[in-house]
Amino acid sequence: MSEPTTILQSALQWERDIPDHRFMFQPLGGSADNVKVYTWAQMMDEARRMAAWIKTQDWEPGSMIALCSKNCAWWVMADLAIWMAGHVTVPIYPTLDADTVGYILEHSEAKMLFVGKLDAVWDVMKAGVPDGLLQVAFPLSPQGPYERWDDLIGSVDPLQEVADRQPEELATIIYTSGSTGRPKGVMQSFENMFACTRGLAEAITLLEGDRYLSYLPMAHGMERWLGECSSLYNGKGELYFAESIDTFVRDLQRARPTIFLSVPRLWAKFQLGVFAKMPPKKLDLFLKIPILSGIVKKKILTNLGLAQCRMAGSGSAPIPKELIEWYKRLGLELLEGYGMTENFNYSHISKPGEGVPGYVGTPYDDVKARIADDGEIQVLSPGAMLGYYKQPNETADTFTEDGWLKTGDRGEIDEDGRLKITGRTKEIFKTSKGKYVAPAPIENLLNNHPRIELACVGGSGYPQPSAVIKLSEEAWKQAQGGGREEVARDLEAHLGAVNAQLPNFERLAFLAVVAEEWLPENGFLTPTMKIRRASIEKAYGPFNDGWYGQGTKVVWHEPST
């Protein structure tokens, strides 16, 4: 067999060369040791059987098959089965509303839907599934009138002659998370996915025996690339899955990942969990004592399951540099990267030992980046999409005349080629004084506080910007338990410190503390934990006049008001 040129060919190679290697580790629930282990031979046998069953449906080659599930072993096997049978995978986030589910299934013209491991939110989502659409359920899926995975793979023999997928063929349509409107279907080829995976593997030096815990949604390009594609490309590592939010720390401790990727919100939650057991001042003191420092660092990382992590990454949104520096003090180097679904996340990376807080790194070796006259970041990458599905005009608008991807982000490139993201063009708003404000950098400053979990800066048409904030769980409990004044004092002090770093026109008039949860399920966050600015502004915008009129630095907004 020649060298692989697609991720599917990589999987076929490992099936042949190391069939007995223990590759995937799937928790089945109930206890920490109730885990199903898949060797390459076992995994590919199930994938081939499902591919054989799909072939019996006699759909036109290149048909769309949708997949809605939390990450699990069957997600990977279903993806491979779809490719083996000659079709195209359409992932669906497991935290969407029914309207968006229906839009994606109808827009993609999906022939069937894999229904996987899902939370109670599926009771809402399933209303968007068109009547009569064929549905096949994974093990661990919700109950329903579905064909069952185990029944189907038991009814057929493994497919022997898998489809010969060419690099230029369409492999998947990844619908964007829709933070600014209807999701768009990003078309990626086998060539795109393979080139980006190979480039990542070379940049971070994937090793035999690397362990990876997959829990960020595989429906998103970032986790599909690093969790699935890189694991299938490497072959000799181990791919673990998380059971649930409640067992997440246990899952981390079980996997003991050597490579771990998260989003800023979760890195901040880990930090808050540490602070809940050891207040910041006490921890700072311990870290200054030479012998004790090493013991404390090891204990914290071991408790997090990250003691053996050789590369930790943060992506999807900006992360405060102070948070990066905090983890570095613990001995964990957090490396930022940058990319988009539209280039399969293959743009910039901070390599081990080269990370600089506030920068997302330098371009991969086969990527070029430039800053347009209006400050927009533009990228030339082998991961550049084929286009948006059924949207030629939007596709044309996303590329320059000379073929560079217009990211919509604004940035700066330093003398060493490192990129700093300074905001998103569509998010910039104007105050009543005629000044333009980029909210993301200010939000980053606000989020760098143990009492704040998330912030959304707004104030279009008002003299000064302001911010709506969601407190951390501990801070909210304290405020509700009689400690509101203390929390407010801390927030006001933090607001003063943030404003001192900003020019006059960007200084925040106040912080509005809100009680509602911000979740993907209620539309305040995207499935990748980024704030949905439009949803937050729609929910709280009507209160702005009253908040500005109070003239206080910290405003408390209760659901009943």
Query: Per-residue pLDDT tens for 210-263?
Result: 999 999 899 988 899 999 999 999 999 999 999 988 888 889 999 999 999 988
Contact 509, 464 (CB under 8 A): yes
On the question of pLDDT at 409 being above 70, the answer is yes
**What would the pLDDT profile of 422-442 be if each residue is shown by its tens digit?**
888 888 888 888 888 889 889
**What's the half-sphere exposure (Cβ side, CA atoms, 13 Å) at 33?**
0
In eight-state DSSP terms, residue 92 is E
SS3 526: coil
Q: How many Å apart are CA 163 and CA 159, to the nearest integer?
A: 10
**What would the pLDDT profile of 536-560 be if each residue is shown by its tens digit?**
999 999 999 999 999 899 999 976 5
C-alpha distances (whole Å) from 190 to each of 62, 187, 303, 340, 384 are: 13, 10, 39, 17, 12
Contact 50, 79 (CB under 8 A): no
> 73-84 vs 40-55: helix axis angle to the nearest 10?
50
**What would the pLDDT profile of 293-310 be if each residue is shown by its tens digit?**
899 999 999 988 899 999
Q: List, in sequence order, every residue forming a beta bridge with 91; answer none if it has no partner.
A: 67
In eight-state DSSP terms, residue 525 is B
For the chain, percent of residues with pLDDT exceeding 90: 65
The ranges assigned to domains in the chain are: 7-240, 259-307+309-425, 428-557
pLDDT at 179: 53
Task: Write down the residue that tokens 């282990």 correspond to.
Answer: 37
Contact 238, 206 (CB under 8 A): no
On the question of pLDDT at 529 being above 80, the answer is no
On the question of pLDDT at 78 being above 80, the answer is yes
CATH topology of domain 259-307+309-425: Rossmann fold (3.40.50)
In eight-state DSSP terms, residue 479 is I
The hierarchical CATH code for the domain 428-557 is 3.30.300.30
Task: Write down the residue that tokens 């206080």 correspond to.
Answer: 552
On the question of pLDDT at 200 being above 50, the answer is yes
C-alpha distances (whole Å) from 308 to each of 202, 298, 304, 326 are: 21, 10, 10, 18
pLDDT at 248: 87
**What would the pLDDT profile of 126-155 be if each residue is shown by its tens digit?**
999 999 999 999 999 988 889 999 999 999
**What's the half-sphere exposure (Cβ side, CA atoms, 13 Å) at 328?**
16
**What's the half-sphere exposure (Cβ side, CA atoms, 13 Å) at 391?**
18
Q: Determine the residue type at 145.
A: P
Of the ranges 233-237, 465-469, 529-533, which one carries the lowest mean pLDDT score?
529-533
- Specify the CATH number for 7-240; select among 3.40.50.980, 3.40.50.150, 3.40.50.720, 3.60.110.10: 3.40.50.980
Q: Are strands 147-148 and 64-68 parallel, antiparallel or unpaired?
A: unpaired
Find the distance separating the first CA and the last CA of the chain, reported in whole Å.
68
On the question of pLDDT at 531 being above 70, the answer is yes
pLDDT at 136: 97
Q: Are strands 35-39 and 238-241 parallel, antiparallel or unpaired?
A: unpaired
On the question of pLDDT at 561 being above 50, the answer is no
Interacting residues of 558 by C-beta distance below 8 A, sequence separation 6+: 515
> 280-287 vs 264-277: helix axis angle to the nearest 10?
90
Dihedral pair phi/psi, residue 182, rounded to 5°: -60, 140
User: Are the folds of 7-240 and 259-307+309-425 the same?
Assistant: yes
Per-residue 3-state assignment (H helix, E strand, C coil) for 123-181: HHHHHHCCCCCEEEECCCCCCCCCEEHHHHHCCCCCCCCCCCCCCCCEEEEEECCCCCC
